[in-house]
């Protein structure tokens, strides 16, 4: 499927380019813009990013595949990220992870059939003081209990 | 008790409140001083980096070449991906303008025209807050071309925010620079150090967010004032992030050299349920853990922690109570480093995976005492044999957790196992004897 940036996003890319002396340096913010528009980074998207920035496609690929926040396949409308690193684990993060798995009926890095939810076990999100925590898309939910997690997930349905 | 980085002033994140509380006074003062003077003051203040290595900030700045045609850069490290560390986001949220002011003074001191503030990608909310503050600073003439007029100087600098995308390794300075350059963020071989060969091959200084936020008060109040706060060899206040089994987890700004027990008992409200402490990691998950029965009298500054065999790291204190299964903790830590290893150096890429497998074998009930020795051996072969410090960061928890809690780990392994003993007469016999009596 062909991918092209919207007019508005092309303008944003132009703005981003000004922050850096080289085109290659703008690759990370541009991948973010592409992901925002397309939902995930496919081969076609990477090609278009390379075209827009006039860099090699392999440069885009090497960056996209390195980071965990760039998705190469579609994620759910609500991307639920459960931190299970030490501080959260000590406060019962695995119980919450299991609860979310049960509730959504999916495993780590899977998407529900209706495409509404996806689940990811993430590493430390920098919210150790509010452990256990989950993040849904861009929002943090801290100091959780099982009940609160259920409440949050129910409110999204 | 005075707070330097996060003062108790309501709405300090609003520029007018910040201006009413000595805001940008330090920058004004800095522009009346020579750059050498500023570097000298920071050096004398004894300020040490808050990002983990606790290196002298003034000394780092003085490494920047004075005569060069190349553009210079300042990088501010807000990647904050060390588990147990969550201090920088408090600065983004509650005191963003002091960070911006610190960046301006630092840029002036080292002669940089552009500063990049690298913030981890997960911090969407804090990136927006920080971007908002930067936009206001531009609008009000504290950044960009307009600052020449505001401060009445010929110097101007820009501050750009670069958003990370969820890689722990990007907190390593050279990896962070590769990330900004848009390359695959593998750490670089050092030397050459960033001061010679940093962003795009140009002289670059890289400091932690908390370090930069400390600069304005030092310039405003003088280095003598700063050097008298806390421990003499590591002065100032430190943002301690306390997490794990405590009643009131959170970030506490306290003078360096505060007793670890005081932080846990008085500030973090003691251990949950009044239990005993089994283990404390004093500086984020990569630092050597301390036994709960050995933390009495331990002070939280770089030198004191070095003496007791740990390190200050990022000041992320993780407290584990007596019921914690340390094997689970160690598996989780090792899994993290295995996941985050960038894959550039073999000892780290393969070794950390082996350690995780060996630990999981112990967890499955198939481990022996020899596995514990094997783990320490693998850790020793990773440490110091990699391009960046992630290798050490992965090796230390394993090595020190097992050696310091050997008694507990021995409980998790089988005592009676059949092992073949080669080159011995009785090698064909069943050697089902307690391992404790077998020489290594």
List of residues 6+ apart from B385 with CB closer than 8 A: B345, B347, B391
The answer to pTM > 0.90 is: yes
Q: Which one of B243, B280, B286, B313 would you mutate to disrupt binding with A, by most A Cβ within 10 Å of its Cβ?
A: B243
Residue A107 lies inside a defined structural domain of this protein? yes
Q: How many CB atoms lie within 10 A of CB B414?
A: 15
Residue A71 lies in a domain: no
pLDDT at position B414 is 79
Q: Are residues A11 and A33 in the same domain?
A: yes
Does the predicted interface ipTM exceed a cut of 0.85?
yes
- The mean pLDDT of A101-120, rounded to a whole number, is 96
Query: How many domains does the structure of chain A reveal?
Result: 2
In 3D space, the residue among B331, B234, B348 whose CA is nearest the CA of residue B285 turns out to be B331
Return the residue in A13, A66, A69, A128 with the most chain B beta carbons within 10 A, the one to mutate for interface testing. A128
Average model confidence (pLDDT) across chain A: 96
Determine, yes or no, domain membership for A98. Answer: yes
The nearest CA of chain A is from the CA of B402 a distance in Å of 17
Whether A53 and A85 map to the same domain: the answer is no
Rounded to a whole number of angstroms, the distance between the first and last alpha carbons of chain A is 30
- The DSSP bridge partners found for residue B252 are B240
* pLDDT higher at A2 or B202: B202
Question: A107 and A59, same structural domain?
Answer: no
Same domain, A151 and A82: yes
Residue B227 CB: number of other CB atoms within 10 A? 16
Range of the domain at A151: 78-156
Task: Give yes or no: residues A16 and A60 share one domain.
Answer: yes
Cα angle B430, B433, B434 (rounded to 5 degrees) comes to 155
Instruction: Find chain A residues with C-beta within 8 A of B249's C-beta.
Output: 87, 128-131
Residues A60 and A84 both lie in one domain: no
Output the pLDDT for position B122.
Answer: 96
Q: What pairing do the DSSP bridges indicate for beta strands A139-141 and B114-119?
A: unpaired
Same domain, A136 and A99: yes
Q: Are residues A58 and A83 in the same domain?
A: no
Q: Give the span between the Cα atoms of B208 and B170, in whole angstroms.
A: 13
Q: Indicate which of B130, B165, B331 best probes the interface with A, i.e. most A CBs within 10 Å of its own CB.
A: B165
Q: What is the pLDDT of residues A73-96, one digit of tens each?
A: 999 999 999 999 999 999 999 999
Backbone angles phi, psi at B161, to 5 degrees: -100, 130
Q: Are residues A15 and A55 in the same domain?
A: yes
**Residue at A1 is within a domain:** no
CB contact (8 A) between residue B243 and residue A32:
no
* A60 in the same domain as A84: no
State whether A60 and A88 are in the same domain: no
Contacts with B, A 39-78, CB within 8 Å: 55, 59, 62-63, 66-70
Query: How confident is the model over B170-190, as a mean pLDDT?
Result: 96
Residue A17: count of CB within 10 angstroms of its CB: 17
Has residue B436 got a pLDDT over 90? Answer: no
Residue B428: band (very low, low, confident or very high) from pLDDT cuts 50, 70, 90: very low
Is A122 inside a domain boundary?
A: yes
Does A88 fall in a domain? yes
**In the structure, what pLDDT confidence band is assigned to residue A151 with cuts at 50, 70 and 90?**
very high
Here the CATH number for the domain that contains residue A104 is 3.40.30.10
What chain B holds in terms of domains, given with CATH numbers, is: 15-227 (3.40.50.11540), 237-321 (3.10.20.600), 326-417 (1.20.1440.230)
| Residue A73 counted as domain residue | no
Per-residue pLDDT reduced to its tens digit, B334-353: 999 999 999 999 999 999 99
- Residues A36 and A84 placed together within one structural domain of the fold: no
pLDDT at B440 over 70: no
pLDDT digits (tens, 9 = 90+) for B198-221: 999 999 999 999 999 999 999 999
pLDDT at B419: 55
Q: How confident is the model at residue B176 (pLDDT cuts 50, 70, 90)?
A: very high
Cβ of B329 and A90 within 8 Å?
yes
Strand, helix or coil for residue B345: coil
């Amino acid at each position: 499927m062909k991918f092209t940036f919207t007019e508005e996003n092309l303008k944003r890319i132009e703005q981003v380019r000004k922050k850096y002396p080289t085109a290659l340096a703008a690759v990370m913010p541009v991948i973010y813009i592409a992901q925002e528009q397309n939902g995930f980074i496919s081969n076609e998207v990477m090609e278009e990013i390379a075209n827009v920035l006039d860099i090699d496609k392999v440069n885009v690929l090497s960056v996209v595949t390195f980071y965990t926040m760039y998705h190469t396949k579609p994620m759910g409308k609500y991307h639920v990220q459960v931190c299970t690193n030490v501080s959260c684990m000590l406060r019962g993060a695995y119980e919450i992870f299991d609860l979310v798995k049960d509730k959504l009926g999916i495993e780590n890095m899977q998407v529900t059939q209706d495409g509404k939810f996806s689940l990811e076990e993430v590493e430390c999100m920098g919210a150790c003081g509010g452990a256990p925590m989950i993040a849904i898309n861009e929002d943090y939910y801290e100091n959780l209990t099982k009940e609160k997690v259920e409440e949050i997930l129910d409110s999204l349905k | 008790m005075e707070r330097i980085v996060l003062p108790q002033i309501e709405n300090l994140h609003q520029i007018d409140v910040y201006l009413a509380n000595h805001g940008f006074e330090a920058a004004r003062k800095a522009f009346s001083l020579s750059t050498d003077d500023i570097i000298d003051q920071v050096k004398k203040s004894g300020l040490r980096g808050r990002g983990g290595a606790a290196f002298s900030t003034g000394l780092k700045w003085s490494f920047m070449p004075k005569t060069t045609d190349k553009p210079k850069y300042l990088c501010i490290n807000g990647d904050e991906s060390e588990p147990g560390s969550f201090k920088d986001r408090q600065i983004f949220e509650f005191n963003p303008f002091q960070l911006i002011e610190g960046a301006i003074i630092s840029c002036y001191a080292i002669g940089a025209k552009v500063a990049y503030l690298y913030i981890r990608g997960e911090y969407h909310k804090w990136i927006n807050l920080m971007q908002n503050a930067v936009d206001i600073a531009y609008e009000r003439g504290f950044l960009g071309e307009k600052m020449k007029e505001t401060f009445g100087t010929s110097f101007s600098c820009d501050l750009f925010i670069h958003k990370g995308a969820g890689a722990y390794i990007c907190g390593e300075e050279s990896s962070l620079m590769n990330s900004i350059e848009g390359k695959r963020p593998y750490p670089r071989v050092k030397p050459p150090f960033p001061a010679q060969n940093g962003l795009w091959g140009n002289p670059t200084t890289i400091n932690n967010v908390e370090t930069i936020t400390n600069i304005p008060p030092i310039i405003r109040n003088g280095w003598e004032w700063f050097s008298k706060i806390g421990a003499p060899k590591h002065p100032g206040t430190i943002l301690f992030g306390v997490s794990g089994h405590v009643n009131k987890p959170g970030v506490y700004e306290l003078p360096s050299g505060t007793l670890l027990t005081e932080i846990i008992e008085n500030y973090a409200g003691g251990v949950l349920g009044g239990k005993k402490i089994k283990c404390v990691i004093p500086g984020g998950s990569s630092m050597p853990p301390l036994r709960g029965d050995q933390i009495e009298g331990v002070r939280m500054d770089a030198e004191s922690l070095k003496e007791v065999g740990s390190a200050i790291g990022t000041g992320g204190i993780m407290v584990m109570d007596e019921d914690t299964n340390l094997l689970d903790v160690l598996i989780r830590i090792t899994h993290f480093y295995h996941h985050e290893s960038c894959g550039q150096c073999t000892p780290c890429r393969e070794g950390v995976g082996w350690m995780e497998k060996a630990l999981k074998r112990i967890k499955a009930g198939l481990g022996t005492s020899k596995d514990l020795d094997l783990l320490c051996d693998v850790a020793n072969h990773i440490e110091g044999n990699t391009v960046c410090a992630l290798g050490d960061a992965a090796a230390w928890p394993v090595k020190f957790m097992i050696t310091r809690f050997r008694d507990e780990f021995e409980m998790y392994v089988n005592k009676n196992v059949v092992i073949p003993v080669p080159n011995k007469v009785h090698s064909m016999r069943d050697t089902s004897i307690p391992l404790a009596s077998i020489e290594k």
